[in-house]
Amino acid sequence: MKTSEAAGVRLMRRRYLKQTIFFTLVRASALLIVLALGGVLFHIFYHGISAISWEFITRPPTDSMTKGGILPAILGTIYLTVGAIAVGLPLGIASAIYLTEYAKQGRVIRLIKVGINCLAGVPSVVFGLFGLGFFVIFLGFGSSILSGSLTLGFLILPTIIGAAEEALKGVPQTFREASLSLGVSKWQTIYRIVLPNALPGILTGSILGIGRAAGETAPIMFTAAAYFTAKLPGSIFDEVMALPYHIYVLATAGTHIEATRPIQFGTVLVLVAVVLGIDLVAIVIRGYMRRNKRW
Amino acid sequence: MAANDIIRIHRVNFYYGAVRALTDISMQFEKNKVTALIGPSGCGKSTLLRLLNRMNDLIDGTRVEGEILFEGRNIYAPQVDPVEIRRKIGMVFQKPNPFPKTIYNNITYGPRLNGVSAADLPGLVEQSLRQAVLWDEVKDILDKSAMNLSGGQQQRLCIARALAMKPDVLLMDEPTSALDPISTAKIEELVEELKRHYTIIIVTHNMQQAARISDQTAFFYLGNLIEYNKTEKIFTKPDVKQTEDYITGRFG
Ligand SMILES: Nc1ncnc2c1ncn2[C@@H]1O[C@H](COP(=O)(O)OP(=O)(O)O)[C@@H](O)[C@H]1O
Ligand SMILES: [Mg+2]
């Protein structure tokens, strides 16, 4: 009796020790991630802040893009990102609704899901070439906001489908049953009950897509981005400058690569700010939708 | 077979994939009566109940054989729209499942989507909540979320929500199993009251509950209907030994 009690205590102690070690490791890795993120942000901020001025964000570039501002690129990136969401979100939600609510689960659906996952892993330059071949040339949209938004929309589609599928599956089956049992049709059940309850989750997942759409260079290089244009876009058929491509150009293709370092970092800083700004809008919308949506 | 049977089940088999959950069931449900379905867990009570408003349609790979006639019409005939059946045959679930909406909007959700005019909604809300004996408790908080109500109140709200569709039949699947004794008593009283206007079919785990509130009782075992008779008879002198064993607590 006594020996077994002592053994029990030893076991508890060993467990406690294991737990402590494990928690410490987990905490350390979490801290590492935060430090890495902080380091990157600090680096960008430290080198870029000197370039930021009112003129920088409200004027077009001048003197072969070594002076002046980046307004056309800021607007271009906002247009392209919003355009990508406008393409990707409805398509992604519709696909996810089909996959989770309508399709009979089986081999074909599994295959489609594998396909979507593969699509997520396709290098973005491939999307860029597809956009060039299909939207720019075949459909004749030219290098434009429209072509760029469509290309980026397809790029973020797998992310949004994935997020939407998870969010739809997260809506309790009991809500669907309750609605259907009241003689409400399947489509109305999805539209009135399932979708509103899934939207906050869909937005959360889509925020990842927003960052990707705003930050990618390769997909817009052939489909939307102009090397330089002081003119602000007048329609969706216009070419635009875009922040990531502008950074790429300044850092690799200009004749004053060293001289424009501060502008490069300033542009990166603005890009980060724009992405965070769009995320913030999404988060606010989500918060608004979440009120009253607890279960 | 009495003329006032509202639902008749004729030689029904039901399968989940290859597994048969109900075997050759034939029975009828009388109008404006309370029928209790009893039997050990897994004997097919919920399955049978969900057959009556075609909720089993939602599960992939299920199959029905035989006929279920509602007011003389086979609800599994190909041209029948399950949505229309569910308007007439309402359901209350085991766990209260209000929508994450206001109390008011929980009640109006079904009627609104089924074409009840906006002017009629406030009256309908009050009437349904009164029928479910919840009106006095919630009349001042109709615009508050239904999720804030207690479990018993939520279940009565779900009953009110079903009643707002003015169904002919109300199916209840162990509606009190998640509730405390006081809420349970309230719902039992409510059932007594409701049978004046509705046909009620209730699954219950609780023998006393079946004995207290039902007119007819059906005992199921392993997917078979073992005995179906007046509740009084089932609980005093059942014809089948298995029934007696079950109600006296010798198994299950
Ligand atoms: N969705 C389902 N898929 C497969 N089998 C099921 C499903 N639901 C119930 N069953 C099976 O059908 C039988 C009857 O279940 P159920 O009707 O829920 O019983 P009860 O309500 O009497 O406890 C059980 O053996 C159960 O395992
Ligand atoms: Mg059950």
What is the distance between the alpha carbons of residues B123 and B95, in angstroms, rounded to a whole number?
27
- Regarding the beta carbon of B18 and ligand 1, being less than 6 Å apart is answered no
Residue A128 contacts residue A189 (beta carbons within 8 Å): no
Residue B21 contacts residue B15 (beta carbons within 8 Å): yes
Residues A15-49 have pLDDT tens digits of 899 999 999 999 999 999 999 999 999 999 999 89
Average pLDDT taken over every residue of chain A: 89
- Regarding the beta carbon of B41 and ligand 1, being less than 6 Å apart is answered yes
- Nearest-atom number in ligand 1 for the CA of B19 is 5
Residue B60 has, within 13 A of its CA and on its CB side, a CA count of 7
Scanning B60-119 for CB atoms below 8 A from A yields: 60, 83-88, 90-91, 93, 95, 97-102, 109-110, 113-114
Which string of DSSP letters, residue by residue, matches B156-185? Answer: HHHHHHHHTT--SEEEEESTTTTS-HHHHH
Residue A135 contacts residue A223 (beta carbons within 8 Å): yes
Q: Whose CA is nearest to atom 20 of ligand 1?
A: B42
What is the distance between the alpha carbons of residues B92 and A174, in angstroms, rounded to a whole number?
11
B17: left (phi over 0), alpha (psi -120 to 50) or beta: left
Per-residue exposure over B204-233, b if at least 16 CB sit within 10 Å of its own CB, e if not: bbbbebbbbbbebbbbbbebebbbbbebee
Per-residue exposure over B167-179, b if at least 16 CB sit within 10 Å of its own CB, e if not: bbbbbbbbbbebb
What is the distance between the alpha carbons of residues B227 and A220, in angstroms, rounded to a whole number?
73
Band (A55; pLDDT cuts 50, 70, 90): confident
**Signed CA dihedral, B149, B150, B151, B152: sign only:** negative
- Asked if B8 is an interface residue toward chain A (Cβ–Cβ < 8 A), one would say no
Q: List C-alpha distances in Å: B9 to B19, B22, B52, B65, B226.
A: 20, 12, 9, 11, 15
Centre of ligand 1 from the C-alpha of residue B11, in Å: 19
Q: Which residues of B touch A102 (CB under 8 A)?
A: none
**Domain locations in chain A?**
77-291
What is the distance between the alpha carbons of residues A78 and A274, in angstroms, rounded to a whole number?
8
Residues B35-91 have pLDDT tens digits of 999 999 999 999 999 999 999 999 989 999 999 999 999 999 999 999 999 999 999
Residue A142 has, within 13 A of its CA and on its CB side, a CA count of 9
Can you give the three-state secondary structure of A10-75, one letter per residue? HHHHHHHHHHHHHHHHHHHHHHHHHHHHHHHHHHHHHHHHHHCCHHHHHCCEECCCCEECCHHHHH
Q: How far is B186 from chain A (nearest CA, A)?
A: 22
Which residue in the block uniquely carries the two structure tokens 């930021």?
Answer: A52
Q: How far is B237 from chain A (nearest CA, A)?
A: 37
3-state secondary structure of B89: strand
Q: Phi, psi (5° rounding) for residue B78?
A: -60, -30
Cβ neighbours around A116 below 10 Å, total? 19
Question: Which residues does A contribute to its contact with B (CB < 8 Å)?
Answer: 104-105, 172, 174-185, 188, 192-193, 197, 292-295
Write down the CATH superfamily of domain A77-291. MetI-like (1.10.3720.10)
pTM score:
0.85
Q: Which stretches within chain A are classed as H helix?
A: 2-48, 54-58, 71-97, 107-121, 124-131, 145-170, 173-181, 186-189, 195-215, 218-221, 243-248, 261-290
Residue A76 contacts residue A217 (beta carbons within 8 Å): no
Which residue in the block uniquely carries the two structure tokens 């029934």?
Answer: B243
Band (A195; pLDDT cuts 50, 70, 90): very high
Query: Residue A177 and residue B110: Cβ atoms within 8 Å?
Result: no
Band (B251; pLDDT cuts 50, 70, 90): low
Say which of A104, A176, A295 has its CB closest to residue B100: A295
Task: Tell me what pLDDT residue A105 has.
Answer: 79
Tally: H helices and E strands in chain B:
10, 10
- Regarding the beta carbon of B16 and ligand 1, being less than 6 Å apart is answered yes
- Regarding the beta carbon of B55 and ligand 1, being less than 6 Å apart is answered no
Q: Phi, psi (5° rounding) for residue A273?
A: -65, -40
A2 vs A8, more confident: A8
Q: What interface predicted TM-score (ipTM) does this complex get?
A: 0.93
- Nearest-atom number in ligand 1 for the CA of B43 is 22
Residue B134 contacts residue B160 (beta carbons within 8 Å): yes
Protein residues with C-beta less than 5 angstroms from the ion ligand 2: B 46
- State the ligand closest to the CA atom of B94: 2
Band (A283; pLDDT cuts 50, 70, 90): confident
Centre of ligand 2 from the C-alpha of residue A20, in Å: 44
Query: Residue B93 and residue A178: Cβ atoms within 8 Å?
Result: yes
Residues B105-129 have pLDDT tens digits of 999 999 999 999 999 999 999 999 9
